Chains A and B, each alone.
Chain A
Amino acid sequence: MKDAGEDAVVADGLRKRYGGTRALDGFDLRVPEGTVCGLLGPNGAGKTTAVRILSTLLRPDGGRAEVAGLDVARQTRQVRYRIGLLGQHAAVDEILTGRQNLEMFGRLFHLDGRSARRRADELLRQFGLADAAGKPPKQYSGGMRRRLDLAASLILAPQVLFLDEPTTGLDPRNRGEVWESIRTLAAAGTTVLLTTQHLDEADRLADQIAVMDHGRVIAEGTPDRLKSKVGGDRIDLVVRDAAALPAAAELIARVCGAEAETEPELRRISAPVRDRMSVLTEVVRALSDAEITAEDIALRRPTLDEVFLRLTGHRTDEEAAA
């Protein structure tokens, strides 16, 4: 564990209740300075609540949090000079132009008029919005709105950037654009805490993933470690003939050295794989030896659901009470 001075985000035993719901229930997290942390969890896990507490929007019922070395509850104003926040929607004014938006936010960060204008122009260029600077976000694409949103969070070049499901609702192209921006920021040394419901998003962006369930972190580690813990990639095999299912399952289990899951109604068999490269050829060879006809065969990353099944023993949509 790193010592406290090097962690840009520290959460110790954060608790937050809404009536009978424990949104956060002993939430602990440390994000080392200059790294990207992916907070991964299903809907309702408490990701937004955690981000809202860390970004000073919400007071916890218990526990404490530090951001950029400052206590979130007691040094709120100082924290606010050092953070950027992107919520689930692009929080920009729809009627003002892109430039007017950034100038307004700059003024609210207590810049004088000239600095606010200069900074607005610089960020518009930086985020490829110079041509759209005179247009309102209403006329922007989803990705452009997100970029303006991001630019507004970066006016003071914050030490810590919080992103709550930054790509939800974006199409793949715009999602790629946002990923690219996050990567560039991270490479430049900004500490990023982002929430997501998608394992592959966390995998692509994060140095460290914290898996959340029912208000607390249930597993933590690098994407690789987490994946090896849950079995890494998986192979899916669909057989043409349902009668061949048991034989095929046995074959897959032997090749992969792990138990295979069978879904008879889909004629599908799924199993974790260790070595992506060799397993495909081995499976194909074994299938032809056994004269089993495959309809589809594919390697894929585990879904969030499978990660959860491994880590918690329950699926994402099952309640804690179960």
Chain B
Amino acid sequence: MKTTTPAVLGTPPTPVPPATPLSLARWAVLDGWTIARRDLMHWVREPTRILGTLIFPIVFVVLFGYVFGSAMSVPGEGAYREFLMPGMFAQTMMFGIGTTMTAVIADTAAGVTDRFRSMPMAPSAVLTGRSLADIVNSVIDVAILVACGYVVGWRPHGGVAATLAAVGLLLLLRFACVWIGIYLGLVIPSVEASGAVWGLLFPFTMIANTFVAPSQMPNWLGVLAEWNPLSSTVAATRELFGNPGLEEGSWIAGHPVLMAVVWPSVLVVLFFLLSMRRYRRLSR
């Protein structure tokens, strides 16, 4: 084959293709970082985008904290907004499914995913990079939400270690949602269809202990709400933040911290594997 380079193309560099397993692994990490950086640069270039993801939770805080809040009763005792905020934090993590899903679908629709796939980069990097970027974004989300919480009078009462643990559990839930979102983004054919899927998903972000205690719901709905992974994270963070609203009725309600680790971990593994398989099958 021809080896001389046409002058019009300038002086193209010659990369050294990774040959050893070690250099392959190194490039897989670097490629993932390049992909993640791309997404993080979006936030630097267009900081207002962050409002898009946070407008919903902020509206919810106002709506439920102030409009409906007076009519809500907190299980046990306590201020409604103290009860509400951990729910808002966790629900925002859950809404992250939509953010991730939309980003994945947009890349596919624009042909960017195909361009990545036609390049010699590590195939896993497209997905791992996306998950890294979204989790970093979520740290910013949590920070802003916590600040909002302070504004409406919410406080963590559990000490530094417990507070950090609660934030960790929130990010763990978000990480599970990242992989759910990646999987859905790879499966759903178009941006239009994603709206319908989100419509189906939305109730699951609401049937939980976020706004009212499951014990106040009809029996079957209450059970569904208690077993919603979101509820475990909400209850666990309420416990760790020292906020009111803990229930001990059922086994699942009695072990929130355990389940706030188990649920998302299981989902991460499951949807990571599903996503990787689906990504490989794009070539079918």
- The answer on A and B forming one complex is yes
Residues of A within 8 A of B (CB): 8, 33-34, 52, 55-59, 68-69, 77-78, 80-81, 83, 85, 87-97, 100, 104-105, 107-111, 115, 118-119, 122-123, 126, 136, 152, 154-157, 159, 184-185, 187-190
Q: Please name the residue on chain A nearest to B118 by beta carbon.
A: A85
**From B13, B41, B110, contact of A111 by CB (8 A):** B13
* Given A57-B117, A89-B110, A189-B6, 16 new contacts (CB under 8 A): A8-B1, A56-B118, A58-B284, A81-B15, A83-B118, A87-B114, A91-B110, A97-B45, A100-B41, A107-B31, A110-B18, A110-B120, A154-B9, A155-B12, A189-B2, A190-B6
Q: How far is the CA of A177 from the CA of B211 in the complex (A)?
A: 58
Chain B's interface size range is 35 or more
Residue contact B119 to A108, C-beta cutoff 8 Å: yes
| B283-A95 in contact (CB<8A) | no
Q: Are B34 and A122 in contact (CB under 8 A)?
A: no
Indicate if B198 sits at the interface (CB-CB under 8 A).
no
CA distance A56 to B5 in the complex (A): 23
Query: What CA separation (Å) do A146 and B44 show in the bound complex?
Result: 25
B8 contacts A188, C-beta separation under 8 Å = yes
Q: Is the CB of B38 within 8 A of A93?
A: yes
Bound Cα distance from A154 to B31, whole angstroms: 19
Q: How far in angstroms is the closest Cβ of chain B from A113?
A: 10
Asked if B10 is an interface residue, CB under 8 A from chain A, the answer is yes
- List 25 A-B pairs, Cβ < 8 Å: A33-B2, A55-B118, A58-B284, A59-B284, A69-B1, A77-B120, A80-B118, A80-B120, A81-B15, A81-B17, A81-B120, A85-B118, A89-B111, A91-B111, A91-B114, A93-B112, A104-B37, A104-B38, A108-B31, A109-B15, A122-B11, A154-B12, A188-B6, A188-B8, A188-B9
Note all chain A residues with C-beta closer than 8 A to B10. Answer: 119, 122-123, 126, 157
> Which residues of chain B have a CB within 8 Å of any CB of chain A?
1-2, 4-18, 27, 30-31, 34-35, 37-38, 41-42, 45-46, 110-112, 114-121, 282-284
Question: What is the CB-to-nearest-CB distance from A180 to chain B, in angstroms, rounded to a whole number?
Answer: 11
Q: Which residue of B lies closest to A185 (CB)?
A: B8
Contact present for B9 and A80 (CB under 8 Å): no
Say yes or no: B15 contacts A156, CB within 8 Å. Answer: yes
B284's nearest neighbour on chain A, judged by CB, is A59
Chain B nearest CB from A299 CB (Å) reads: 35
User: Closest Cβ of chain B: how far from A59's Cβ, in Å?
Assistant: 5
Contact A104 to B15, CB < 8 A, known contacts A69-B1, A85-B115, A91-B111: no
The answer, among A34, A83, A104, A154, for a CB contact under 8 Å with B34, is A104
Chain B residues whose CB sits within 8 angstroms of the CB of A189 once the complex forms: 2, 4, 6
Q: Which residue of A lies closest to B122 (CB)?
A: A108
Which 3 pairs, one residue from A and one from B, show the smallest C-beta to C-beta distance?
Answer: A188-B6, A91-B111, A157-B12
Query: Which A residues lie within 8 Å of B284 (CB)?
Result: 58-59
Q: How far is the CA of A108 from the CA of B30 in the complex (A)?
A: 9
